[in-house]
Amino acid sequence: MADRDIAGLAPADSGQATLALALSHTGNDIQCRVTSATGSPSIGAASCRLVTAKLRAMAAMKRADGSSPIAGKMIVLWQTKIQAAAVTSDYGGATPLNMEYWITNADLAPVGQDSMSYTIDISPLGLATACHVSKASSDEKLDARVCKAILRQARFLPALDKNKTPVSTRGTGVIKWQQP
């Protein structure tokens, strides 16, 4: 299911919501509170619907120390279809998180201007489990570093099937860089 369908958000709605997330006292449900929202009036509520639907299966999970992996702050950005058409990535229904941290300057090193395309497998828990170079750059070692970084850093809200159950999916993306 598409994120807008899950959230009940119209195609023309756009904006950004900052959400505070926590597990309920029973530990079975995710509590979502909108701390700020801009854009269309329904952005905040739609963002909470999307995040709680996609994280519901993770509510029962615990970290090694017994704490919940679901707590803290999340920012959800909604773009219109016209804006989204310019994006060269498709993550098969999974929603990418923390993309600004996937690849760092240290991963790329000063290599001039280039690009590479990749395909990743995404688990129902929102983790990248495999990365394959689908269109190589001019530097094979760089491509390997990029895939390693994606596997280490990439996180997603999982794709959902028609019953809103998290499922595995496959995504594609393009990384472009240029030396300043």
Look up residue 178 and give its amino acid.
Answer: Q
* Higher local confidence (pLDDT), 130 or 29: 130
What's the rounded mean pLDDT across residues 137-160?
A: 89
pTM of whole model > 0.75?
no
At residue 84, the pLDDT reads 37
Average pLDDT for residues 61-82, to the nearest whole number? Answer: 65
Paired tokens of 162: 């028609």
Instruction: Kindly tell me if the per-residue pLDDT of 83 is higher than 50.
Output: no
What CATH code would you report for 88-180? 3.30.2420
At residue 59 the predicted structure's pLDDT band, cuts being 50, 70 and 90, is low
Distance between CA 99 and CA 111 in Å, rounded? 21
Contacts of 115 (CB under 8 A, 6+ apart): 135, 137, 174, 175, 176, 177
In this predicted structure, what is the pLDDT of residue 69? Answer: 58
**Pairwise CA distance, residues 107 & 104, whole Å:** 5
116 strand-pairing partners: 175
Question: How many C-beta atoms lie closer than 10 Å to residue 136's C-beta?
Answer: 14
Pseudo-torsion of CA 60, 64, 68, 74, nearest 10°? -120
Give the confidence band of 82 by pLDDT, cuts at 50, 70, 90.
very low
pLDDT at 25: 66
With a cut of 60, say whether residue 73 has pLDDT above it. Answer: yes
Average pLDDT, stretch 45-49?
A: 90
CB atoms within 10 A of CB 106: 8
Over range 56-68, report the average pLDDT: 62
Q: What is the pLDDT of residue 21?
A: 84
Residue 106 has pLDDT above 80, yes or no: no
Give CA–CA dist 116/98, Å, rounded: 20
